[in-house]
Amino acid sequence: MEGQLMALAIETYKVTLIISLPILITGLVIGLLVSIFQATTQINEMTLSFVPKILGVIAVIIFTMPWMLNMLTDYTTNIISFIPKFIS
């Protein structure tokens, strides 16, 4: 029983990491590129670093939403199918 719960917890962390990675990597790469641009041009405008990240993250969320929903649906189906095993 404890082994199954640990496997479920590990699977939860894996799904969370896999789903969030595209969004986090996009924010990281855009932030890095904007920082390099600001350092080379010496422009220190706050909105210049904020707006491109928001637009990039929104674009990635829209682009990867079907994949994320499929992954979450499969995960939820697995959890629901494990409920009878945990009750008995």
pLDDT of residue 66: 96
Q: How confident is the model at residue 55 (pLDDT cuts 50, 70, 90)?
A: very high
pLDDT at 88: 66
Higher pLDDT, 63 or 49: 63
Q: Taking each helix axis as running N to C, give the angle between helix 2-41 and helix 46-87, from 0 to 180 degrees, rounded to the nearest 10.
A: 170
Tokens of 17: 């990491």
- What mean pLDDT is predicted for residues 65-77? 95
* Mean confidence (pLDDT) of the chain: 91
DSSP class of 42: T
d(CA 75, CA 52): 32
Q: For the CA atoms of the chain, what is the radius of gyration?
A: 19
Give the predicted TM-score (pTM) of the model.
0.80
Three-state DSSP class for residue 45: coil
88 three-class SS: coil
pLDDT of residue 18: 96
